Amino acid sequence: MSNGKLISFEGIEGVGKSTTINSVKKILETKGLSVFCTREPGGTKYGESLRNILLNNKSVISPEAELLLLFSARRQHIEEVIKPQLAKGKWILCDRFIDASFAYQGYGKKVNIKKIDLLISNFTENILPDLTIFFDLPYDLAKKRFPKSKKKDRFETLDDHFFNDVYKGYLKQVNKNKKRIKKIDANKTKSEVRDQIICEISKCFKEFKL
Ligand code: TMP
């Protein structure tokens, strides 16, 4: 269909995904690649409005209803953004994708993993990341990086037990998908983290040369 690529970035809160994605984008662009950054939940007008509901700490949403909202936003994102951008040959850098649903709703909130598999096989049009970068930082270290002043969103108010389960869930995803998901050590400086990612991208894609 195209030579576009989808790279997703995963990890628990506080691992520094968002800032790193911007520095990775700059490096890919200096190599002449056309890059498009997006995020989940979000990335479309509809998805961003669902994001506001999902992150609002006044929202009362059950784990399964939450899973369906996330997949509704994801479906729109795939149709409106991901497929068209891949068709244009873009390198899409996506801040979270399907692995977050396994980690947060599956392992964190204990929604049956089979239900997540079912949503993926029916509603994501076989769109799987070409590469997923997992920012590995245990929760006790990530927690120290949480901004103290910021008002907590609906996920950030969850307890240590939840985030430890999410972290362990991510590790299970890494083990189940060793070819696609690459773990990087997020307990390093920003430039070291960025360099590890660039190294993984260069190993994965022949189109990208260091
Ligand atoms: P962010 O903090 O990376 O912007 O993500 C927003 C929150 O959404 C974060 O706490 C993780 C959560 N989330 C899920 O629980 N499941 C999902 O499938 C996705 C994409 C995000």
Ligand 1 pocket: which of 96, 111, 115, 167 to mutate (most atoms within 8 A of CB): 96
Q: What is the pLDDT of residues 100-121, one digit of tens each?
A: 999 999 999 999 999 999 999 9
The string of DSSP codes covering 148-163 is SSSPP-TTTTS-HHHH
Q: Is 96 in the pocket of ligand 1 (CB under 6 A)?
A: yes
Q: Could you tell me which residues come within 8 angstroms of residue 63 by beta carbon, excluding any fewer than 6 positions away?
A: 105, 109, 110, 111
Question: Domain 5-204: what homologous superfamily?
Answer: P-loop containing nucleotide triphosphate hydrolases (3.40.50.300)
Q: What is the pLDDT of residues 172-181, one digit of tens each?
A: 999 999 999 9
Segments making up each domain of the chain, as ranges: 5-204
Q: Record the pTM.
A: 0.97
Helices (H), 124-189: 139-144, 160-176
